Copies of this chain bind each other. A is one copy, B any other.
Amino acid sequence: MSPRGQVRNEQMRAEALEKITSAALEVFAEYGYKGATMKQITKVSGLSYGLVYYYFPSKERIFRHLIDFAFESSIFALNTAMDVPGTAWEKIENLSTILVRNALSGESSLYFLIMLQAMTQGKSIPGLLDYVVKRSEAYYEKLVPVIIQAQKSGEAVKGDPVVLAAAYFSFVQGLATLVFQGKGMEKKIIPEILINVLRKGGQEK
């Protein structure tokens, strides 16, 4: 109850939460929502069964929490890339570099796997798929105006910009599956490959 005690408590709380979310991130990304068990999560986190449920009311809530965090940090990265001054095409190049870096290496790659798992298994949780789809759309539609601009300047391919944006982010999710192959192939992917999806080809129609 003393001020000092409160600070200590909050620190412990923060540490426990960190252990749980980081363990859950790892296990969910690897095994999917249904495939992951609370037992695995408790084991990886090093905490007991009861303590995990002291901080989170359910397995589903942990998963949703990770999904929300994944989207928020993705949107932040997207905005960062879009906000740098430059032409529309330069923004696309910039975004592609960031996405390749984030989706395919380090801890942030786990968040892309979480989004992929949410998409492929969303139907196992009532209402989740709709939620994920809605957030995904809001996410990739931020790219649409940039594509339109890049089409006008003749650097981006022609075609429905919404479809192109959807295809572009689908590609990122597809690339994330390379992580599962465990051969390090994902590290060999260069931003150029992703950029190419939107780049105008050599020959005109």
**Closest chain B residue to A113, Cβ basis:** B120
Smallest beta-carbon distance A156→chain B, Å: 11
Smallest beta-carbon distance A154→chain B, Å: 10
By the criterion CB–CB under 8 Å, are B160 and A188 in contact? yes
Smallest beta-carbon distance A135→chain B, Å: 11
CB of A136 closer than 8 Å to a CB of B? yes
CB of A38 closer than 8 Å to a CB of B? no
Q: Which of B167, B174, B193 contacts A159 (CB 8 A)?
A: B193
**Distance between Cα atoms of A50 and B110 in the complex (Å):** 40
**Which of A1-9, A26-34, A142-150 is near enough to bind chain B?**
A26-34
**Distance between Cα atoms of A35 and B122 in the complex (Å):** 9
Contact of A188 with B201 at beta-carbon distance under 8 Å, contacts A35-B121, A35-B124 already known: no
Chain B residues, CB < 8 A from A33? 35
Contact of A119 with B177 at beta-carbon distance under 8 Å, contacts A193-B197, A197-B193, A201-B199 already known: yes
Chain B residues, CB < 8 A from A200? 201-202
CB of A173 closer than 8 Å to a CB of B? yes
Smallest beta-carbon distance A57→chain B, Å: 21
CB contact list, A116-149 vs B, under 8 A = 116-117, 119-124, 129, 133, 136-137
By the criterion CB–CB under 8 Å, are B189 and A178 in contact? no
Q: Which of B34, B122, B137, B196 contacts A180 (CB 8 A)?
A: B122
**Closest chain B residue to A198, Cβ basis:** B196
By the criterion CB–CB under 8 Å, are B157 and A196 in contact? yes
Chain A 172-202, CB within 8 Å of chain B: the 1/0 string? Answer: 1111011011110100111011001111111
**Distance between Cα atoms of A113 and B166 in the complex (Å):** 17
